[in-house]
């Protein structure tokens, strides 16, 4: 299995975004968002996005999705690490996210802390960057 992570656009990810919608996920293209796509053996397998507000010293991890047949293969972790390394290049002091039960353990393993649960579906997390 050959996995590559590439910078992408909301438009290029449209087929995956439609699949994510069928899985009940809302995906929005926040102005200034940066998108990363996982390509596995030539197929789009998943994506993550983030946006940075350097003026406020923060980054927000936004949309995360991996197609069902590609889960549990380390793809999400590769996407996560790519996005984390990307935002650390900027002048950010904190990274915020709202995550699902499926992704919560990954966020916690990288040092994010729970801040609140707004619903049964999402938990807000925060990481302070050194």
Residue 103 lies in a domain: no
| pLDDT at 1 exceeding the cut of 90 | no
Q: Which residue has the tokens 């996920």?
A: 25
Residue 109 lies in a domain: no
pLDDT band at 121 (very low <50, low <70, confident <90, very high): confident
**What is the per-residue DSSP string for 50-107?**
EEEEGGGTEEEEEEEEE-GGGTTSSHHHHHHHHHHHHHTTSS-SEEEEEE-HHHHHHH
Q: Which helix (H) or strand (E) holds 68?
A: none
Residue 128 lies in a domain: no
Q: What CATH number is associated with residue 71?
A: 3.40.630.30
Q: What is the pLDDT of residue 102?
A: 87
Question: What average pLDDT does the segment 10-35 reach?
Answer: 93
Q: Is the pTM of this model over 0.85?
A: yes
Domain total for the chain? Answer: 1
| pLDDT at 45 exceeding the cut of 90 | yes
Residue 80 lies in a domain: yes
Question: What average pLDDT does the segment 52-63 reach?
Answer: 94
pLDDT band at 82 (very low <50, low <70, confident <90, very high): very high
| pLDDT at 23 exceeding the cut of 90 | no
Domain limits for position 18: 3-91
| pLDDT at 127 exceeding the cut of 90 | yes
Residue 60 lies in a domain: yes
Tokens of 100: 């699902």
Residue 77 lies in a domain: yes
Question: What average pLDDT does the segment 31-56 reach?
Answer: 96
Question: What average pLDDT does the segment 98-106 reach?
Answer: 91
| pLDDT at 120 exceeding the cut of 90 | no
How, if at all, do strands 58-66 and 94-99 pair?
A: parallel
Q: What is the pLDDT of residue 69?
A: 94
Residue 25 lies in a domain: yes
């Amino acid at each position: 299995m050959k996995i590559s992570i590439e910078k992408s656009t909301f438009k290029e990810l449209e087929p995956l975004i439609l699949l994510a919608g069928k899985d009940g996920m809302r995906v929005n293209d926040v102005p200034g968002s940066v998108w990363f796509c996982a390509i596995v053996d030539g197929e789009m397998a998943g994506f993550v996005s983030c946006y940075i507000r350097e003026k406020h010293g923060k980054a927000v991890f936004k949309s995360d999705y991996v197609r069902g047949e590609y889960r549990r293969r380390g793809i999400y972790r590769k996407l996560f690490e790519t996005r984390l390394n990307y935002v650390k290049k900027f002048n950010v002091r904190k990274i915020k996210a709202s995550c699902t039960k499926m992704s919560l353990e990954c966020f916690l393993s990288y040092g994010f802390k729970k801040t609140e649960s707004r619903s049964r579906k999402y938990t807000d997390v925060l990481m302070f960057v050194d």
